[in-house]
Structure 1
């Protein structure tokens, strides 16, 4: 039942109460002259009973609507608490953040990462993919906002022209609650801050003036900026139990003038600078919302001594997330790393795998087996935790990177990676891709996923399947069709540089022109339909960017060839 339907049911019930009251008044007036005082009292008692009955119906309808958000969904293993009780029209206040209850971790989560720093989908697509993600076995969403969050005030400049507004954000949260998907916000606080540092008013906060990726954490105003970003995001997520602060792959860290001056006075170098800053950020979150647990990428922490981690007491307020995106995971080394984090005082550790976006910066078609092997390797590590009782396992995040950095080319589109996501979640759920997993995948996707062909065979029914098959055609046929026709026997002679210069017209060009015209019309018609499918899911800037990176150069070549043929015919 949707939020609107719940309100509608309550409205109907209110009308029932009014209706019963009006009917009673009319009945009372009709028989007033013939009733004794005792009869009036009896009827009055009956009227009160009717009103109580109607009120009870209102109450139980409300309870029923609430319970619907707690219903177990087919394909789920771990059960989560239901829908966040938020008024989608209300403005959240800091006070509500401090008082919002935080539940403790009971079971490990399977979290799907949605990277919004490129090809962010429209909210209507969330309506389609959240039930699928839930039924595939996930119970959480890690939402990396980048410039898609509705920042306000001085931070409004950070917003993309297509950023979600508050109402859309509330709908995303509501949908996540409806399908029992724990929503975890991710806001970068150190590296990967291109969406902030590309703006002129924040140039002075760059660690290196010519680079816009890393924050100068010692600059006046840096911590204030990060605190304001975190505050605004947390205000919109008052019931979140975790908050991811990023902090990985920090490039050029410690190269600013401020950092150099600081390093001259501190012998422990950039390690001390990093952990000091991370601790301040995590402490701020915990003070803003007591009970929340910050999460951070741990790769920058590996070279920091255990004593230094213990000294800053980071382990008491935050949890590390270890990421590894290929199958080359040494279980023995990983167990040792987990032991180290346990000795440093951390109680919980998270893992991060990948279902897309890690096999190439401009990857167009997702290599399913590559990502499956990554998850099978992680399963061995997860088993080792249970075997050795090393540290509590918080959960695993299946990352789906959309761009390596804010301004690089797009990786695979989300619809293209859905079969990979499904396979990876099935592996985590069943321990391998067995017969039971294959049956479930076929039922939910409407197709057979074959690792040999790296393809979802037959016609899939999953959300975005049209884009999936159309991208496959572009990936496998567009460039090849142009190469094939340019090598055509009828083209080589008449289209040599000398022939073009002399504007000659051999007879065999007629055959080539006919074939070229057919090919141009076929691809033009295909691309028109493809753009329509894309615009149904993505904003115009994403459609334009993807076409520019993957299609335009080939279509321009095709049209240029057709233009030359037309000029000499």
Structure 2
């Protein structure tokens, strides 16, 4: 076994060297073209295009930072001490780039997080969206919700310190309506299901439902006192309206399922914002798409939360996204988020992330982000790069996180260098895509070298 591992490492290191040589040759050709353009600016009767030097410089710096990271996987410096009451970390100028870590299956151990947080930061991420699911160390009456592999409070404190050290803002996510399989699978909570046979959605009319999710939210909020944002999920509430309680409510409210959804969402969003002043709420938008702007406005949700428009398709309908933005603007929302996918969005049991598919998804989102000037009165807070581990709590694993790292590198770099610059329309697109591909190759090889001897998952 030792011989095989050594052989694997030797092969990987050779591939890294080959990639580095190709990168150097590519830079040489780029510099040569720049020199030729400078020597003969009048070719073809007009000045040659100006090549941005920052692209080449940034590429070299990022590759070097990755090599340094591979050599020093542990965080080399202690956290910087901050005075009490220090304001939360600010994101970079413009919409934030937030990496989503879905913890429902194969959750990374803290020793792996120590290595990937510096990588996320070097790639251009501003924060991390932590979807805890059953990996949060719930206590008291909620102890039953904890996975046997759940993080301890000490683990979470270390994760928070690592995030601050690497200038990554943490945003906790707790589902409050749909995707509650990890809760409703327990016999103790069977009576709170919307559909008795399925554990995915909560019955919003049962007296114990709101109390349960408020308790969950409270424990997570208490663990993240510096969080500026809190994501309450609220997507894909399947079966809503099918319980007898819901049918009774619908009979008295003209069958308005949208209003039923809003009542629960508003109740939880108000609870979160009142529990801690200054916290802003995020929720997925798919349930809102079916509701009229007038009904949303009447509910008051627009004053409590910001919707996240999500689309993971390779060829997504950018005009349709524009229609959604207009609808949410009409509903009175002051800000919105977008959500792409760097992994886990193409197949329920995907083994290898299709890089071109994910790249095209992000190029489409860049077009949408560039169009936000049409909506001057609504703020784009950022984009969430989702990395789903499972489609649902009980389904098989999608491709594992390390497999998705090259895609994440490519997608983050595309967003960092492509948005609001319009450089994907012609030759600039080829340059940026080439950089992303080379960067991704080097990243995956380095990650293989780093982790070939490391067990990184808590609950595969």
**Which residue of structure 1 lines up, in the alignment, with residue 293 of structure 2?**
306
Tell whether the 8 Å contact from 2:182 to 2:393 is kept in structure 1 after alignment. Answer: yes
Tell whether the 8 Å contact from 2:231 to 2:282 is kept in structure 1 after alignment. Answer: yes
Tell whether the 8 Å contact from 2:97 to 2:125 is kept in structure 1 after alignment. Answer: yes
C-alpha distance in 1, partners of 2:167/2:88? 16
* 1:373 to 2:292 alignment: no
Q: CA deviation at 1:104?
A: 8.4
* 1:213 to 2:200 alignment: yes
C-alpha distance in 1, partners of 2:448/2:307? 33
C-alpha distance in 2, partners of 1:231/1:84? 27
Taking CA–CA contacts closer than 8 Å with sequence separation of 6 or more, which of the two structures ends up with the larger relative contact order?
2
What are structure 2's unaligned runs of at least 5 residues? 1-60, 66-78, 419-423
C-alpha distance in 2, partners of 1:142/1:323? 15
Tell whether the 8 Å contact from 1:189 to 1:245 is kept in structure 2 after alignment. Answer: yes
Provide the aligned C-alpha RMSD in A.
2.5
Q: How does 1:47-126 map to 2 (within 5 A)?
A: 107-126=94-113
TM-score (norm: length of structure 2): 0.77
C-alpha distance in 2, partners of 1:437/1:86? 43
C-alpha distance in 2, partners of 1:135/1:406? 31
Which of residues 250, 266, 285 in structure 1 aligns to 2:272? 285
C-alpha distance in 1, partners of 2:81/2:295? 38
**Which residue of structure 1 lines up, in the alignment, with residue 134 of structure 2?**
147
Closer, same or farther: CA 129–206 of 1 in aligned 2, 3 Å: same
Q: Deviations over 1:291-321 (max 9, x none)?
A: 1111000110112121211112111110000
Closer, same or farther: CA 463–179 of 1 in aligned 2, 3 Å: farther
* 1:426 to 2:423 alignment: no
Q: Residue 426 of structure 1: SS of its match in structure 2?
A: helix
* 1:244 to 2:163 alignment: no
**Which residue of structure 1 lines up, in the alignment, with residue 456 of structure 2?**
537
Tell whether the 8 Å contact from 2:89 to 2:167 is kept in structure 1 after alignment. Answer: no
Q: Residue 191 of structure 2: SS of its match in structure 1?
A: helix
TM-score (norm: length of structure 1): 0.62
Closer, same or farther: CA 371–439 of 1 in aligned 2, 3 Å: closer
Closer, same or farther: CA 130–101 of 1 in aligned 2, 3 Å: closer
**Which residue of structure 1 lines up, in the alignment, with residue 326 of structure 2?**
339
Closer, same or farther: CA 168–103 of 1 in aligned 2, 3 Å: closer
Q: CA deviation at 1:330?
A: 2.3
Closer, same or farther: CA 406–191 of 1 in aligned 2, 3 Å: same
**Which residue of structure 1 lines up, in the alignment, with residue 220 of structure 2?**
233
Which of residues 419, 437, 446 in structure 2 aligns to 1:461? 446
Q: Deviations over 1:181-211 (max 9, x none)?
A: 1100010000110100011111110111110
C-alpha distance in 1, partners of 2:390/2:370? 31
Closer, same or farther: CA 292–104 of 1 in aligned 2, 3 Å: farther
**Which residue of structure 2 lines up, in the alignment, with residue 199 of structure 1?**
186
C-alpha distance in 2, partners of 1:318/1:384? 22
C-alpha distance in 2, partners of 1:267/1:85? 55
What are structure 1's unaligned runs of at least 5 residues? 1-73, 77-81, 88-98, 450-455, 468-531, 543-569
Closer, same or farther: CA 104–269 of 1 in aligned 2, 3 Å: farther
Q: How does 1:150-165 map to 2 (within 5 A)?
A: 150-165=137-152
Which of residues 168, 173, 193 in structure 2 aligns to 1:186? 173
Closer, same or farther: CA 361–243 of 1 in aligned 2, 3 Å: same
Q: Residue 169 of structure 1: SS of its match in structure 2?
A: helix
